[in-house]
Structure formats: structure tokens, C-alpha cells
Structure 1
Amino acid sequence: MSTNPLAALSDAGVSIWLDDLSRERLDSGNLSGLIAEQHVVGVTTNPTIFATALSKGSAYDAQVRELAARGADTDAAVREITTTDVRNACDLFRDIYTATDGVDGRVSIEVDPRLATNTEATVAEALDLAKAVDRPNLLVKIPATVEGLPAITRVLAEGISVNVTLIFSVERYRHVMEAFITGLEQARANGHDLHGLHSVASFFVSRVDSEIDKRLDALGTPAAAALRGEAAIANAVLAYAAYEETFRGERWEALAAAGARAQRPLWASTGVKDPQYSDTRYVDQLVVADTVNTMPEKTLHAVADHGKIEGDAVTGRAARAQEVFDGLVEVGIDLDDVFVALETEGVDKFEKSWAELLDTVTGQLNQAKG
């Protein structure tokens, strides 16, 4: 295994995607440098990332002035600004997309988070985004809400690749994989080339520890303290076991024979939030083939500097992971409530970021109009 941690991670079958995108990153050559030097083979975005990008610097000023001169409203301006960044990123990653036969070189854009509980509107928005970006290496992000599940199926059935986001529980993840497989079956019936369809399932990691650790601390018992920091990795290990279980058997093999590729697990929210933990733990401890780890640049550089990539850290560890979850139940953690709280919080955070993005662009448009 390579002594370069990022090279070792890539050699172990983990695709390294950057969890950030901005006009400044594209224009400055920063993203090109990360591709060339840090093994980055894809990019993910979300409303928070775009809200941050638009609120800083002057990279968007020229486009905002042009949009203001055209009389664009806020929603239209946000759509054009974000899809421009994503389209340009898709072009930047096109060689990787080609070299990996479409597995990597992917760029994600998220549907308006205000639509997270509206199936019909999510489908319409996903189709519009795919048309607006018009690049084969695009992934449209759809949240794994109850209402998002049928939208995932329907968008895949239209031949559009999907990044399923905001997955917290293994139970919901199983529903996501079912929605994916059903979507492929419908896409095949609709005459789409399954080999060109791609999907990842974004399983959020660090937020699980943040929520459960908070509840363990509130319990204040030695048994609770002993489980601190154990939940997120265990949850991801159980998710990978569910992935291995799902993508086998006659139903999947029929799709695979038609050119379909499995929906890879993607480890999201891998930046460490608790300073008591190693800043590379959600990378080091989630090394396993055929997965993606999308990380903020700070985590990327931490892994490059002192990551400990020691081969497969996930396969065969489901029994131990289940023991952790059994222990959480024994000390009094209501896991169902944890996952509902995390999903609700996730949607709310993205809605808030979207509102901030709209406010920022409104202010910039007004300023450009004088």
C-alpha cells in the first residue's frame, strides 16, 4: 500500500470526492490542482456550500451584473449561477469520467431543499436541473425523505443519474436501495442504457455521533460514556453490510447482466466536529472498496498529512457494529427518534442555507441594478 495516504485510499477502492465547489475554486485553478495532486475524482455540492460561496468574494459579480441587466428574478439567477458552476465542474472532470467509464468524474447538484416533502415537485426540479446542466457526468441530489423515495425511482426511470442525500439510518438506506433498483428496472423498460446510469447513496456519518454523543452525555452513566464516539462508524459498517446483501441475487443479477452498476455507498459528513476525536477518523475507519468518501478540503489535507489508511476497515465487522447498537438501546438511546431528529435537522439546515442563498443573490441583484 502506498505511503501517500490519499493514494493509499484510492488504491483501496475509495473514490475521493471534494465536498465543496465555488466559482473561485474553478477560476483560480484550485480544483484542478486537487485533481492533479490530491487524487480528487469528483465533487459534491449542497445549498450550504453555494450559500457560502455566493456570500464571499467577487467571483460572481460579473454574472450577477449580467443577470441584473437581463432583469432576472432571484430564483432564475440562483438557478443560472449554480448550474454554471456545476456545468463548468462537469467539464473539468470530463476526462476522469471518460477514463473511469463513468464511475467517477461526477459532479452533484441538489434539488431545492424546500421541495423535500413534495414528490412531484422534486421530480420536476430534477428533470429541469439535468436539462439545464446538460452534462453526462451530472448527479442530481435528491433527499432520502419518505417523499423523496418515489422521486428517486422516477428520476432514474427517466435516465438521469442520482445522488441520494441525507441518509442516516440503515432502515431508510434499504428503502433507498429498493428505490434505486426499481428505478433501474423502469429505466430498462423505458429503453434507457443502464450502463450510463449511475447512483451513489450519501450516508451521513459525523452527524450521527454528534447527536448520539449528546444524548449519551445527558445520560451521564459509565455505560453511556463507554459508547461515546462508537455510533457513527458502527452505523456506516451496518450500512455497508446492507449494501453487500442487497446487490446480489437474481433480481440484481438480471439488471447487472443488462449493464447496470450497483449504487455505491458514499460516506458524507466526514469532517470531524468533536475535537476529542482524530480529524481523519471518518476516513481512516471507513476504508472499503467500491465506496466514495466526500470530504471538505480541511479533512482532505488532514488525511494527506497524517491519515492512517491500513486497508479494508469495514468488511466483516457488522457483528461488532450491531453490538454497539444493541448497547445504545440498552443504555436508553431511542434510535428511531435519533434518526428522525437528524433527518429533520438536515432538511431544516439546507432550507435555511437556501434562504440565505436567495437573500444574498437578491441583495447582489439589487446592488447591481443600483
Structure 2
Amino acid sequence: MTNINKLSEKGQSIWLDSLSKQMIESGDLKNLIDQGITGVTSNPSIFEKAIGSSDSYDKKILELSKNNNDPKDIFENLATDDIRNAADILEEVYKKTNSMDGFVSLEVDPFLANDFEETINEAKKLWDKVDRKNLMIKIPGTQEGIMATKHLLEEGINVNVTLLFSFDSYKKTLEAFIESKNKNINSKSVASFFISRIDTAVDQIIDNKNKFFHNMAIINAYKAYSFFQDKKNNMGENFQKLLWASTSVKAKDLEQDYYSKNLPFENTVNTLPLETIDYLLKSDLNLSSESELSKSFNNLYQESKDHFDFQSITESLLINGINLFQDSYKSVLDTIDEKVSKLIKK
């Protein structure tokens, strides 16, 4: 039994936080699914790496450029092709789990993060273009993004709310999902709660002997999960899962599976980059129990307020997260523009 199977038995889904044309065409994605991976997440940084480091997209880029498509149109065509193909590979998982797993996520233009109406328009366009029931549209967890999420869920569009760092943002996200069920009970959703970036930010301002050092991310996650448990029965069979994002470690003194083994909670998703999945498959995974975490972290969240301004930290992380995705989005469009110029000259 692999470690992925162990986590699956705990009720946690493991998704791949990576995607590329090469991964799809080589059969690597299918092999990972055969080993227990049940979903895929993507973001502008992932596509920047995939398109910029490979010539496998060049033929399609040249073809699209001849039809007077601008770099954004070309990117959307490339990304939606990959997403659609990944969704098809995951369709069996989607059907076997009664549409509670087997999803692939595609993010809206991050420059729309604070624009309610344009986020909705972009999400609808991508939803129609991919045309797969096991697609989730990723929406940044800004105030406008959470409002757009409720609207999209009511219209039957599945949503992955991303860049959630604070408990308050998660609470609003879950409440938006619950409210949306008054109009549509079938839309699927996950709430992507970011982990390691929390510790990276907090660890910079506290001593390494402080009880919150390397721990605040898990304390924060447990706070969110406790709220999820309180609300789960109100959601019925179709509930919004918590998704642990950014669970690859940033600190050099932590093992790569540090967050995975400390957050193996039922009815959650953990999305991991390929290198962390490889490590997970080979490591001796000793899982923490939920009761252990409850005893350790139940009161620490409130106590953290006496040590640092956690609200300010999470607000900065959201802004920085949006900026990073915007940088990657701009970079991938610039890369496509450069490729078009070079390919036309050949």
C-alpha cells in the first residue's frame, strides 16, 4: 500500500499541483492517477513553466498566431486544451466518486482578482470553452472573488476558491457556498487554504524557540478544519471540501512530507507538486491523528494574537499571492509573444 493509499483511507484526496502537455501525452498523468492521484490543480505559474520550458506547444502557438489571436487568446487556447485533456483522463475518477472527486482546476486571469463582474464573465467563458463537468474554475479569495464564487455556484459552475490564508476569509468562503445551495444544490467546490507560506511569513518575525515556529500554518489550518466540521452536516452530501494548498515545505530543516503527515484529515484534499508526490511515495509516512492536533492546537490560535499581528500577515500574503500570479500570467503572455516572433521568422 502506498502512502497515497494510506491518506485515501483516511478520507483525504491527493491532487497533483502541476500540468503540462508533455505530462498528458507521455502518459505520466495517467500513471499518477493509477497510483492514487484523484485531481489536478493549475495556476499561472504552472503554465508559465510548462509553456516557457518546452517546445511542445510551438506548433499550436504558430497555428493560432496565424489566425490573428493575441497572446492572451493563444494562452487560453493552450491552457484550456490541457485542462480539457486532463479532465477527460480524470473522468473515470469523477464518475466513481459520484462527482465528489476527479476535478481539474483552471484559474481566471489574476488581474481580475478585485473585479466582481469581470471575474464572473471570465469564469463563464472558460467554463464554456473547456466544456467538462469535472472542471473547477479557480477564483482568488478576495472580497469580490468570494462574491463572484457565490454567483457562479448558483449558476451551476464549479469553483475552487484559491489564495485563502486567513480563517475569516475561509469562513466567508464556506458561508458563500452554503448560501449558494439555496439556488443550486449540485455545484461542486473546494476552498484552497494555503499552508507553508504562513510559516514562511511568521517564522521570519519570531525566534526559532517560539512555540509558533514551524507550527502556525498547521494551527491556522486546524482552526479552519474545526469550523468545517461544525458546518459539514448543514451542507448535506454535497459539501465544500477544504483543500490544503502550498504544502511543499519552504524551510530547509523540515522533511518534504511535514505538512502532509500533519494534515491527513477526512474530507479534505491535499494538492502537491510532483517532487513532493515522489517523496511521499518513497517516504515512511507517520500520520498525526486529529485528536493529537486537537489537544496541541485548539487554544493556540487565540494565543497567537499575543505574539504577532496575524491578520496583517494574512492580508499581505493574499496581496503577494495575487501579485505573484499576475507576474506569472504576464510572463507567460510575454513568452508566447516572443515565441510567435521567433516561429514566424523560421
SS in 2 for 1:105: coil
TM superposition shift of 1:248: 2.9
**Residue ranges of structure 2 left out of the alignment (5+ in a row):** none
TM superposition shift of 1:324: 2.6
Q: Is the CA contact 1:8–1:309 (under 8 Å) kept in the aligned structure 2?
A: no
What's the counterpart of residue 300 of structure 1?
277
SS in 2 for 1:89: helix
Q: Map Cα deviations across residues 156-201 of structure 1 (whole Å, 9 max, x no partner).
A: 01101111101111111110011111222122xxxxxx34x21111
Among 187, 204, 209, the alignment partner of 2:199 is 209
What's the counterpart of residue 39 of structure 1?
36
Q: Is the CA contact 1:238–1:318 (under 8 Å) kept in the aligned structure 2?
A: no
User: Map of 1:184-195 to 2, 5 A cutoff?
Assistant: 184-187=181-184, 194-195=185-186
- TM-score, normalized by length of structure 2? 0.96
CA distance in 1, matches of 2:279, 2:20: 21
CA distance in 2, matches of 1:104, 1:329: 36
1:91 aligns with 2:88: yes
Q: Is the CA contact 1:272–1:278 (under 8 Å) kept in the aligned structure 2?
A: yes
Q: Which amino acid aligns with 1:286?
A: L
TM superposition shift of 1:72: 1.2
Q: Is the CA contact 1:42–1:104 (under 8 Å) kept in the aligned structure 2?
A: yes
CA distance in 2, matches of 1:316, 1:164: 28
User: Map of 1:39-188 to 2, 5 A cutoff?
Assistant: 39-187=36-184
What's the counterpart of residue 244 of structure 1?
229
Among 234, 239, 250, the alignment partner of 2:219 is 234
TM superposition shift of 1:43: 0.3
Q: Which amino acid aligns with 2:151?
A: R
Identity of aligned residues (%): 35
Among 352, 357, 370, the alignment partner of 2:332 is 357
Q: Is the CA contact 2:24–2:30 (under 8 Å) kept in the aligned structure 1?
A: yes
Q: More deviation in 358-367 or 133-142? A: 358-367
CA distance in 2, matches of 1:335, 1:16: 28
Q: Which amino acid aligns with 1:287?
A: P
CA distance in 1, matches of 2:183, 2:294: 32
Label 1:239 to 1:307 Cα distance change in 2 as closer, same or farther (>3 A).
farther
SS in 1 for 2:143: coil
1:340 aligns with 2:315: yes
Label 1:166 to 1:307 Cα distance change in 2 as closer, same or farther (>3 A).
farther
Q: Which amino acid aligns with 1:352?
A: D
TM superposition shift of 1:245: 1.2
Q: CA RMSD in A?
A: 1.5
TM superposition shift of 1:303: 1.1
CA distance in 2, matches of 1:10, 1:307: 16
1:325 aligns with 2:301: yes
TM superposition shift of 1:309: 4.2
SS in 2 for 1:17: strand
SS in 1 for 2:250: coil
Q: Is the CA contact 2:146–2:161 (under 8 Å) kept in the aligned structure 1?
A: no
Q: More deviation in 64-73 or 349-358? A: 64-73
CA distance in 2, matches of 1:240, 1:315: 13
TM superposition shift of 1:82: 0.5
CA distance in 1, matches of 2:290, 2:168: 19
Q: Map Cα deviations across residues 198-240 of structure 1 (whole Å, 9 max, x no partner).
A: 11110000011001111114xx8x5xx3321110111111110
Q: Map Cα deviations across residues 275-321 of structure 1 (whole Å, 9 max, x no partner).
A: 111210110010111111100011111111114243x6335744632
SS in 2 for 1:216: coil
CA distance in 2, matches of 1:350, 1:148: 15
